[in-house]
Amino acid sequence: MYDHDSPDESDPEVLGFRIDPVLARSWLLVNGAQPNKFAAASRSRADIVVFDIEDAVAPKDKLTARDNVMQWLNSEASGPNDAGAGSEASGPRDHGSRDWVRINGFGTPWWADDLDALAEAGVGGVMLAMVESVDHVVETAKRLPDVPIVALVETARGLERISEIAAAKGTFRLAFGIGDFRRDTGFGDNPATLAYARSRFTIAAKAAHLPSAIDGPTVGSSALKLSEATAVSAEFGMTGKICLTPDQCHPVNEGLSPSQDEISWAKEFFAEFERDGGEIRNGSDLPRISRATKILDLARAYGIVASDYEDDPVHAQAPSDTYHY
């Protein structure tokens, strides 16, 4: 395959591969009440590890899960923190852990205490559950200044306000909480049924000049089902996906990365463009320059066959380009 080889998770010396959350494809949720899974998650192929102290944790275990995660973040902050590719641009903070935390929603009994605890620890960012209004993001951002917030929209009420949420001060990316959204609305899981919702996420993110949205998770261990679901995410312009197990991360990374065919097309297009004098020839050149530039830039960022075109000339971004970073 064209992406990085999967690490041997039985090797304690293997470190996970983390990248800039602007570009992150796989967002791995890890149950905060199960600290025995933390190390394996940190060695996984996840672009971002998100310790979950919200939906995955029963109310009686919330405090224990939070303590587990705080201990992990503090141990990460005090030890080596080689964040891998893209780490130089991994967020506003340049100290502490690179890992993220999914916190309890605004208005729950745990929200304020979650933020108080995280304010004392270095954290890569937070995924805020059950976002239904601008205030949910704004109030969270006030308590965690300079910490990026992924707004997890999971209800019909949240979807109706998604453009406002995307534009809120403090929103870093949008994420689609599919399970709770379906429970709230009664929708099925057919891609056609959720097409409107996914389109709203992509359009709201683009209009607010955010990185593209993160799609919800795929339940189950079927490789084919995961591949098909990731292709749906990509078709709707979503550039990230929540993962539920470490073994989902590598296929999601592949499915949301430029393919070999796309990379070949981009290189061939630029070669042809240069042979024709490097001047705009017709109305389709600007969009094709934009697409080819995006493909090659993402391939470099993800470490995909970089050596094949590392020495190629760098092409200027097209004036009409609106891609997500």
Question: Among 230, 255, 280, where does a domain finish?
Answer: 255
Cβ–Cβ contacts within 10 Å for residue 89, how many? 13
Average pLDDT, the chain: 86
Please tell me the predicted confidence (pLDDT) of residue 282. 87
Q: State whether 48 and 160 are in the same domain.
A: yes
In a domain, 2, yes or no: no
Specify the number of domains making up the chain: 2
Clarify whether residues 276 and 222 are in a common domain. Answer: no
Residue 81 pLDDT greater than 80, yes or no: no
Q: Is the pLDDT of residue 226 over 60?
A: yes
My answer on whether 180 and 285 are in the same domain is: no
Report pTM.
0.84
In a domain, 270, yes or no: yes
CB 181 within 8 A of CB 187: yes
305 pLDDT tier (thresholds 50, 70, 90): low
Given a contact cutoff of 8 angstroms between Cβ atoms, the answer to whether 302 and 19 are in contact is yes
Domain that residue 51 falls in: 26-255
Q: Tell me, what's the pLDDT at 79?
A: 59
pLDDT at 196 over 60: yes
Model pLDDT, residue 91:
37
Is residue 165 domain-shared with residue 270, that is, in the same domain?
no
Do residue 165 and residue 35 come from a single domain? yes
Q: What's the confidence (pLDDT) of residue 88?
A: 35
* Domain match, 140 and 269 both: no
Q: pLDDT category, 1, cuts 50, 70, 90?
A: very low
State the pLDDT at residue 323. Answer: 36
| Amino acid letter, 19 | I
Tell whether 37 and 121 lie within a shared domain.
yes
Other residues' Cβ atoms within 10 Å of the Cβ of residue 176: 30
Domain shared by 282 and 224, yes or no: no
Residue 13 placed within a domain: no
Report whether pLDDT(229) > 90: yes
Mean pLDDT over residues 107-125, rounded? 95
Cα(first)–Cα(last) distance of the chain, in Å? 26
Q: The domain spanning residue 74 has which CATH number?
A: 3.20.20.60
In a domain, 1, yes or no: no
Quick check: is 167 in a domain? Answer: yes
What are the angstrom distances between the C-alpha of 170 and each of 108, 111, 147, 158, 208? 20, 16, 8, 16, 12
Band (316; pLDDT cuts 50, 70, 90): very low
**pLDDT for res 322:** 36
